[in-house]
Chain A
């Protein structure tokens, strides 16, 4: 009776209860016969014959149960292997860090592993692929695969919210399903941002380094020629030249340091930091370390920091570098005896974070140089550095974070930097999924603000942030 469903029985009921059932049934039958005998209904001879026949029947049944059970163990060995293979394949698919999707007819997502859900910011249910991945060439390849055509590899780049380069492998799969549309498309996404970045970084670094080092090198070799030639015995000129040469080599070293630092930051830009840091404490440390530099120019700091720590998600050393760059710039571009105001704010909404509520001047220009996608639930820790220097004309603002860009008229002078400071700031802030904005009015001064996301308190929001940052392609 149970033989029609060997697979069910094999898993749910082992054969021992069945044998026991047969024995119990047989015993019950014998008992009934015994009662009938005692009651005098049956002749002893008939009773003996009936009970013998009954026992024989039960014994045969018992034997068949045993022999039927015999081939089952082999089935038991193979079946669980198949299911455990499936299970392990499933488990691997669930755990693998590579996004894998199965696309059904009409471009509907039939299956997506967790990596794919995070990468494309998919909801719980499937939906159509074209709504979550708006890459025309990938969609074309997928629909070709759904028609059973050959699989292809498509590369695409996405710039928002974080630059990412992805290679998409599309393969048609024929499914054993009835119906007119047996084809499915498997879509595997490989994030190649790091290697692409490394490639470009190398090229950029070489180009920048060779270009920017040429000027100080040319001047060095010029001075060396002069010292060997016309100024060979001129004590006074030698001293002066050596001082200048020293300055040039210092500049070259600074340049290389900054370039290396920029390269490092750019390399990791798509990997968000995980630590926590206290913005107010960092600001205090920076101010302490830069006080000598400020004193040399009779510049005073005006601090407005909260007493409680302003905790943000971030890498302390990098945030320190950001604040140091901003305060250093403010000192450099302020006249002697000026005031540099440093303000830290905790728990701000995006609007407050981006710009101070009141403008520096009625006609001041404001610009967001880098910023994460708008999220009304996110709160930020803000650091604002204000100087009352000459200010920057609004037409130069968009180029401020460009590497080696210097606003006209700042190219020379003893305080000239490498032109990389704000580029470094921008890249660090982008890595932190924070924002960087500037407000300036000529004649009044400039205010630079950086804002960094607060650590997310509840698990739900944490998951969201994780999904956002892991995706790098698509964030709501």
Chain B
């Protein structure tokens, strides 16, 4: 309907194709980021250090893709001087690619910690990390779907549900604290798991950011309501 791929009403056909190519590049980046998060979580559950290494390697590709997207956007801005909807699409793509690049970095960090985690005894809390990871992965998937389809409902849905991620994070935080307080040997791996949870929470924030950008690109207005936050009680935990 409104997706960059489908709004092909430019007099210069090449312009439409370039915009379509741009959104495809961003989608490819998104797919890569999704797969990194998914595999990083898998690596935690299956204690697979090789997979973790592979995830860390993929960060280079996401960086390269981001440069590529930036080049495309600069070219578009310079040659086509887009206005209104086209301009918003360009700016949103620029920002989304930056968000996705950060997601790649966070996935890489999770993968690195996984390798450290594998050297210690298994922790009982990986199930909670998995649940939180899957939720975040799902949010990322939904905003990227919203991006390529141009249907903002999915983006708004994720945006409104960011506090679910926070709720998971806070629950995991408390559980980890209890766990570490009970057994000092768990402090090492527990800390890694804590950072992994924090990274996942930040991936969730990036997904929320992308949701805002998608909304902006499609409608031209910002998601104005106050960003959903956990209740004040939770601020102590984060």
Residues of A at the B interface (CB closer than 8 Å) are 107, 121, 123, 125, 127-128, 130-137, 139, 157-161, 350, 363, 365-368, 373-376, 394-399, 402, 474-476
Q: Which residue of B lies closest to A402 (CB)?
A: B127
Q: Which residue of A lies closest to B21 (CB)?
A: A128
In the bound complex, what is the Cα–Cα distance between A132 and B61 (angstroms)? Answer: 20
In the bound complex, what is the Cα–Cα distance between A127 and B134 (angstroms)? Answer: 29
Q: How far is the CB of A401 from chain B (nearest CB, A)?
A: 9
Contact residues in B for A395 (Cβ distance below 8 Å): 170-171, 174-175
Residues of B at the A interface (CB closer than 8 Å) are 3, 5-6, 20-21, 23-25, 27-28, 30-32, 34-35, 38, 58, 61, 127-128, 131-132, 134, 137-138, 141-142, 144-146, 148-149, 151, 153-154, 156-158, 160-161, 164, 167-168, 170-172, 174-175, 231, 233
B5–A131 CB distance below 8 A: yes
B24–A107 CB distance below 8 A: yes
Contact residues in B for A128 (Cβ distance below 8 Å): 5, 20-21, 24
Q: How far is the CB of A321 from chain B (nearest CB, A)?
A: 23
B148–A367 CB distance below 8 A: no
Known pairs A135-B31, A136-B35, A160-B142; A476 contacts B154 (CB<8 A): yes
Contact residues in A for B141 (Cβ distance below 8 Å): 158-160
Contact residues in A for B154 (Cβ distance below 8 Å): 373-374, 476
A130, A136, A363: which contacts B24 (Cβ < 8 A)?
A130
Q: How far is the CB of A208 from chain B (nearest CB, A)?
A: 13
B28–A139 CB distance below 8 A: yes
Q: Which residue of A lies closest to B234 (CB)?
A: A394
B27–A363 CB distance below 8 A: no
A373–B142 CB distance below 8 A: yes
Contact residues in B for A399 (Cβ distance below 8 Å): 127-128, 131, 171
A131, A160, A398, A474: which contacts B138 (Cβ < 8 A)?
A160
B31, B138, B151: which contacts A136 (Cβ < 8 A)?
B31
Contact residues in A for B30 (Cβ distance below 8 Å): 134
In the bound complex, what is the Cα–Cα distance between A363 and B160 (angstroms)? Answer: 19
Contact residues in B for A158 (Cβ distance below 8 Å): 141
In the bound complex, what is the Cα–Cα distance between A474 and B160 (angstroms)? Answer: 20
Contact residues in B for A373 (Cβ distance below 8 Å): 142, 145, 154, 157
Known: A134-B34, A136-B35, A374-B154. 14 other contacts (CB 8 A): A123-B6, A125-B6, A128-B5, A130-B28, A131-B148, A134-B30, A134-B31, A159-B38, A159-B134, A363-B231, A374-B153, A376-B153, A398-B131, A398-B168
